[in-house]
Structure 1
């Protein structure tokens, strides 16, 4: 029976129902130890099973950070073996994903060299949940997250962000009273609580009435509980159900507290120690064998089974079985899947704390011996072995197991845990005899493995610092190892933007090995060096070095290094030599890396292959290439890795450019709106292209979440601010737009090729600012706008002419040339000049040579300005010829702000027969449509010359219209006419 938890269960059930409806949900259930989190979640599990859901239930264990993905492995193992109707489906889904099968106790051992990346494992989990959810809703419960390893915390965060339309509900429980200020779960909970699909449920303590109902339920079949007992138990338990149950049990046994709330010694009873006494009093009622079994189980810390109990306790099979039966009958251990768990974690903690130091050490040693020689057909856990060996003070065994656990964690795609295990091994290196023999490696290689694990878990600075310290203390005797160490150091320093030190390390790495014979280690070092030279090549050695390195890598059989070098060489040739064959170079690199089993390198090459076709205006070919690249990354479980995210963003951008906005929106459904990390915000920002162009309110919501992160990532700042500037311009706020642009040009993106689009947007803003300043007679503001505009145009011209490191740029890309033309045309607008030739050039360049294709939206935007320029010169037929296709494109795209601007232009310039609708009868009813347009401008304070410019008529004609308006309205001044216009809502 569930007491006092109706509201909390309703929240969880609601999350489950939303998931069943196709909107993935996550719920975090917090509360003090013993408050009833598991009881609440058990009720949800029963509800889910009644509704036909697939239930995956896993539990963390109090083993620190040692066992990666323990609750996930626990959930998959139990679901695949519990005899439920969907067990076969779970087994099939896991079997189709070997990376998940490796987590299970009976899974195949992982061979060295077959390590999956963490993103691959995350992708496999996402795929499994999606596959199971397609058949029936899935409830994944992860209990006791306060004990979760770091990889599990990362997995939980990943699922919270990427689960969107899957029929999956994830529920995690944790002890809120354990989350001290520096607890690693605390920031995770705070971060996830901000997400829209996350429900936070805090399980409160019972009130007096709920405690009474709870005790009444416990007393069924015995004497009714008295009000006095209820009051005393509630006061001492403070409403904690587990405490209340233990206190009540003591009361009815006659071993509880007296009425004063004091224990039998007469002293004040502190709840934790008193509770421990109550819990242990249950154990004391067992036989000697039963007590021993409970103590064995407490040291195990996880599920225990009959065989484990028998072997560690030393009891024979019959005695062990009888002892287990006794313990279960007293509800100290309860059956769980194929084994047993403590009825409550607090009970296990009390028993463990009560063990004498010698008992604890001997039991840990017994578990270590068992794990060192696991039963046939199972795979022992090196992490558990290390844990028990360390607790048993067996440092040599703990050292060897830590090394093995690090390797095992790396092969399971858990680099954070691998780093921790290696760190422990390094700490024990000098404390054990013969460490090299025990570890099967030397200190330098173990340090390198630890650094690689740190880097793979995102801790690049820690990884680089490890290798710096290693090189400062001792040079590895093996030159190939020294080369590899420096190559890794150069890579990580480059990613940390320390290019100077990275280049030094890369040169040293290359110099450590002779060119002949070619080796894989030297090929890898050359690949790193060549890539760094793209950013700084003072001696011009890049092309020759890369070409020779490709041959050396091929001769050494280093396919991944060869593929990386081909990509780097292709990038160089594209920018400096305008080589038209670079697409084939990127394709060759992609295929080579894919065949070699290097998906990240293949993803890098696939991105540039698609991007190159995109830059050359082959939008259909680029879309196919991006689709193939994204599919490849998703199939390899890397869709949410950095290369996977980049190629998926490019796929969106291609469809946006080609005018396939509905498809772009479909792809953007995976781009979260409420983001809290720069990487997520980058993907989210791409969705702004369509949202801003359509004037969607969703753009405001997206920008609200992105804006706090702009200072954390330069590319995000560039991308989001550029689109925020356009958003502000469509809203009529050029000053805000100009500020967005300025805050990007102050960064490196003020000088790279990325400044082209940004400069054009900034020049649009300055043109609007200058026009307003001229209308108000503010000459200083006009001059300031012109100075800002000159700087922006100079940046654009420089970026178009030179590469980032100052070399002449041979290839810019069709879009780059078009944006430069747009910038030139906007600069003339700053001076108040609409130049038809400049705008025609921009429109033509944006077509990419296809009058009916190209960059559809930007062609329409350029034709808008071209039509305006032609109308200003009196060429209404020419203006209409540009205006009509621009209107058609804006209507098809749903580009509401552009369409409104085009219709306004059509009305003012009388293009294509466009006429504003006549007004309703009233004071303005006698005015013609054109006179209403003139009156609107009069009401805005425009003089005759400004009215003429706005409506593409002569000042004399404007004067005639004003005179007619005054006569028809029967007023004597422009001020009175303006008052009538305002009163009538014109």
Structure 2
């Protein structure tokens, strides 16, 4: 390796910046592309050296042309070559440990790929700072590509830098890496580096680092190499050995091979069939040479720089050399060498590759079926599906296929479909299942996938076939449990209780714990929605009493157990169960699985509601702001609860990332609802109203989320001083309450009921009535433990009490609200309370003028103005125009105009000058 990196200083500097940012806790990803031989590996080697100097753990893995056959090859490669401390840490994560040599893959307990991804994320966090390099992504298997996408999205605040290299000249139009690169390059965390040819001057400098060469030779190399460093190296080596220089890189490479002895060429050809790397003993067996002759041949090859010693074997100095030698093989020679490797290898995936290349179809079918099962165990469903499909494709071309595969064709096709679904291709799974004989097992899985694909009618029909065709009791129990689940949110939901109860009884009799728990959870949700909370709690308690062996089911049980307690206001119990589920998810590598993520959402909400805002903010810090998909946008939206309520500067940045995902109803509901509150706290009710109406436009009548949106909309109308649309918001809320969660009058939990009461109180406020009884009901409803909302309701109750002349009671509620806001560090609410207290002349406020006011209801001297209107009035008194006020307060000019109109009306004046005079008279200019 040359000591000097020539012509790549700008590219290296860019990569070092990503590395340095990772060292500071801002994770990053870099993608390095370029033609073969252009210097990608040389650049990455320099980056790795820099990383080690900075104290990074460096993991380097390489994909190979066998990538589709060997799932997670670069990850396994990186772990095998890691420092002992990193390997030891990896071994502590079972899903990673089984990628290390000498470790048997454990039986699958579900969600293997998600567990593997989560385990790797956990390892990177354990051993950070980390530089993780994946070379030759153009050969990556599907699971490795999925892993790269996962890391690119999930590493945000970790001290992790991920770098991938790929050949641009290998990316044909339909290459699977193309879409992945296009997706990743849109992410803000990803830097793309494209290496072009070296300029002639840079190439001259580079050749000079290789050794002495005269001016004529230098000119020849520079002109022939066309800016490609590897080509230049080969030209230099051929010239140094006195060889002629044939046209083209492939011819040049083979001219250097042809000068080897016959034994050397024989060994190199065998190595080319093995791939980029090969173990010493395996190569010696396939080459078929006596030991002394083999070792002499290898020594010759290594001395000429064609192979490098790598561990206990050898690797081609460059992939182009391996490809040139392999391409030069005669067809029969290639087949015989593949067959020789197949006789000696034990890895099913490698066996399948060599059997196919050696035209041994029976061997390929048997090896493919076993390779699929092995890929299934290590969490590579895409590769498992590929192997099973290859075996199915060979089925009719061999004799005794069922014996070779170890199972029937239907069983193998069923496995293939399940693996397609597990890899995210539900459509492929449905297509494969539909052409199989519709046994109960096939129909049950088909129903499950159709339900998840949002085809409820198809799911119900398939589930009914599964029940009708069930043979044994365990199969019947699973079919009935799935049938009950498909009916839960359908117009036939009244059938759920009887069906789930039958499934439960059948599962218990058959000892089918997975079906039993599934039926329990569906039944618990059903009875909860109908208000039978005691029974719902009993069912989820029983579901958690012992493990099922299915991790997804066990996490689902914990999530629903915690959720039911949360929604009934039992926060302490909900927190305990959620913590248990989060621990289970972390220990099994499922932190980022569906229920692992849902449990962390729920734990955040419990912290938030209970007023444990420092803990909530710590959890929210893991909800990345830089999002690229709808699920990530929904996750990120949760952080807005705390960021908006505390008035944190991160709000605007997060909203800018979430804006492109507002077409999704749930992402819009989450983020735009909180964006509306953010706008209200910043005195821009017009924008808040726009957000609320946009969210409601994407919701159906009767949606329970409409209640909260209606309350925020009414708050905005009150600030704008208009009643237009108030009745519409109230009606939407009442429809949602009547419909309940199921749309037919189901039970609404304490929080939903409290928001409904707030809607009624806000509706009266919009119409100018500060209703003490209404706001007292809101306070009492939220006081089940919802600290923040109870404080916000006390603020409005204090206003209503003051307007009613109950000054002492108003101050008591105001003090309670101020105390809660202060403990929460809810700055926007705290500021609003201070402003209200100043205007009400309560003790403990600053900035009061001491002047007795005469205007406004209840005798407080603000003329009945809101806090924002007082703020606008002060700027009017300074002589500012509407545009200048808008710029000063960071609100829309239209909003300022509305505020000014309201001020003139409330003060019963007709000009801005008269309004300023009134402000002085009321003592509002302090």
Could you tell me the TM-score, scaled by structure 2's length?
Answer: 0.90
Is 1:412 aligned to 2:378, yes or no?
yes
Is the 2:487–2:493 Cα contact (8 Å) retained in structure 1?
no
CA deviation map 1:231-254 (0-9, x unaligned): 443333221111112223344455
Q: 1:159 to 1:976 in 2, by over 3 A?
A: closer
Aligned to 2:890: none
Is the 2:640–2:674 Cα contact (8 Å) retained in structure 1?
yes
Aligned to 2:638: 686
Task: Report the Cα offset of residue 942 of structure 1.
Answer: 10
CA RMSD, 1 decimal? 3.1
Residue range with higher mean Cα deviation, 194-203 or 649-658: 194-203
Task: Report the Cα offset of residue 800 of structure 1.
Answer: 2.2
Q: 1:975 to 1:714 in 2, by over 3 A?
A: closer
Is 1:550 aligned to 2:508, yes or no?
no
Question: Matches of residues 563-582 of structure 1 in structure 2 within 5 Å?
Answer: 563-582=517-536
Corresponding residue to 2:834 among 891, 899, 903: 903
Aligned to 2:201: 209
Question: Matches of residues 612-691 of structure 1 in structure 2 within 5 Å?
Answer: 612-691=564-643
Is the 1:741–1:762 Cα contact (8 Å) retained in structure 2?
yes
CA deviation map 1:641-670 (0-9, x unaligned): 011000101111111111111111111121
Q: 1:831 to 1:281 in 2, by over 3 A?
A: same
Aligned to 2:775: 839
Task: Report the Cα offset of residue 396 of structure 1.
Answer: 2.2
Is 1:368 aligned to 2:342, yes or no?
yes
Question: Matches of residues 70-469 of structure 1 in structure 2 within 5 Å?
Answer: 70-79=73-82, 86-87=83-84, 89-111=85-107, 117-133=112-128, 137-220=129-212, 224-226=213-215, 228-253=216-241, 255=243, 274-371=248-345, 380-469=346-435
Corresponding residue to 2:914 among 974, 979, 984: 974
CA deviation map 1:337-378 (0-9, x unaligned): 22211101111111111112222222222222222xxxxxxx
Aligned to 1:876: 807
- Partners of 1:934 and 1:230 lie apart in 2 by 76
- Partners of 1:933 and 1:722 lie apart in 2 by 25
Is the 2:919–2:925 Cα contact (8 Å) retained in structure 1?
no
Q: 1:157 to 1:765 in 2, by over 3 A?
A: same
Task: Report the Cα offset of residue 574 of structure 1.
Answer: 0.9
Could you tell me the TM-score, scaled by structure 1's length?
Answer: 0.85
Q: 1:116 to 1:102 in 2, by over 3 A?
A: farther
Question: Matches of residues 899-978 of structure 1 in structure 2 within 5 Å?
Answer: 899-912=830-843, 914=845, 916=847, 936=874, 939=877, 974=914
- Partners of 1:977 and 1:234 lie apart in 2 by 84
Q: 1:914 to 1:45 in 2, by over 3 A?
A: closer
Task: Report the Cα offset of residue 748 of structure 1.
Answer: 5.0
Task: Report the Cα offset of residue 803 of structure 1.
Answer: 4.0
Task: Report the Cα offset of residue 676 of structure 1.
Answer: 0.3
Q: 1:624 to 1:61 in 2, by over 3 A?
A: same
Q: 1:946 to 1:275 in 2, by over 3 A?
A: closer
Is the 1:29–1:171 Cα contact (8 Å) retained in structure 2?
yes
CA deviation map 1:368-417 (0-9, x unaligned): 2222xxxxxxxx22222122222222222222222221111111100111
Q: 1:491 to 1:901 in 2, by over 3 A?
A: same
Task: Report the Cα offset of residue 847 of structure 1.
Answer: 0.6
Is the 1:304–1:340 Cα contact (8 Å) retained in structure 2?
yes
Is the 1:57–1:140 Cα contact (8 Å) retained in structure 2?
yes
- Partners of 2:876 and 2:493 lie apart in 1 by 65
Is the 1:116–1:411 Cα contact (8 Å) retained in structure 2?
no
- Partners of 1:933 and 1:47 lie apart in 2 by 55
Corresponding residue to 2:824 among 893, 896, 909: 893
Aligned to 2:461: 504
Unaligned runs of 5+ in 2: 851-859, 864-869, 878-895
- Partners of 1:513 and 1:116 lie apart in 2 by 26
Is the 1:725–1:737 Cα contact (8 Å) retained in structure 2?
yes
Residue range with higher mean Cα deviation, 749-758 or 352-361: 749-758
Is the 2:111–2:551 Cα contact (8 Å) retained in structure 1?
no
Residue range with higher mean Cα deviation, 317-326 or 794-803: 794-803
CA deviation map 1:269-289 (0-9, x unaligned): 5xxxx1101111110010111
Aligned to 1:794: 731
Q: 1:301 to 1:822 in 2, by over 3 A?
A: same
Is the 1:26–1:160 Cα contact (8 Å) retained in structure 2?
yes
Is the 1:309–1:320 Cα contact (8 Å) retained in structure 2?
no
Q: 1:52 to 1:900 in 2, by over 3 A?
A: closer
Is 1:764 aligned to 2:715, yes or no?
yes
Task: Report the Cα offset of residue 582 of structure 1.
Answer: 2.2
Is the 1:590–1:601 Cα contact (8 Å) retained in structure 2?
no
CA deviation map 1:533-567 (0-9, x unaligned): 21125373221221221121111111111111111
Q: 1:617 to 1:159 in 2, by over 3 A?
A: same
Aligned to 2:766: 830
Q: Secondary structure at the match of 1:390?
A: helix
Corresponding residue to 1:721 among 663, 672, 676: 672
Is 1:861 aligned to 2:789, yes or no?
no
Task: Report the Cα offset of residue 68 of structure 1.
Answer: 0.5
Corresponding residue to 2:556 among 604, 626, 630: 604
Is the 1:822–1:839 Cα contact (8 Å) retained in structure 2?
yes
- Partners of 1:277 and 1:949 lie apart in 2 by 90
CA deviation map 1:554-596 (0-9, x unaligned): 111111111111111111111114232422321321233xx23
Unaligned runs of 5+ in 1: 80-85, 258-262, 264-268, 372-379, 477-481, 774-781, 849-853, 920-927, 967-971
CA deviation map 1:888-931 (0-9, x unaligned): 32233222222232233223333346463569xxxxxxxx9979
Is the 2:699–2:706 Cα contact (8 Å) retained in structure 1?
no
- Partners of 2:334 and 2:26 lie apart in 1 by 48
- Partners of 2:844 and 2:662 lie apart in 1 by 46
Task: Report the Cα offset of residue 91 of structure 1.
Answer: 3.8
Is the 1:935–1:977 Cα contact (8 Å) retained in structure 2?
no
Is 1:752 aligned to 2:752, yes or no?
no
Task: Report the Cα offset of residue 69 of structure 1.
Answer: 0.2
Is 1:513 aligned to 2:470, yes or no?
yes
Q: Secondary structure at the match of 1:540?
A: helix
Is 1:559 aligned to 2:509, yes or no?
no
- Partners of 1:686 and 1:246 lie apart in 2 by 57
Task: Report the Cα offset of residue 680 of structure 1.
Answer: 1.5
- Partners of 2:385 and 2:862 lie apart in 1 by 75
Aligned to 1:9: 12
Is the 1:115–1:412 Cα contact (8 Å) retained in structure 2?
no
Q: Secondary structure at the match of 1:597?
A: coil
- Partners of 1:764 and 1:942 lie apart in 2 by 15
- Partners of 1:173 and 1:531 lie apart in 2 by 45
- Partners of 1:40 and 1:599 lie apart in 2 by 43
- Partners of 1:213 and 1:933 lie apart in 2 by 68
Is the 1:99–1:124 Cα contact (8 Å) retained in structure 2?
yes
Q: 1:747 to 1:545 in 2, by over 3 A?
A: same
Q: 1:125 to 1:278 in 2, by over 3 A?
A: same
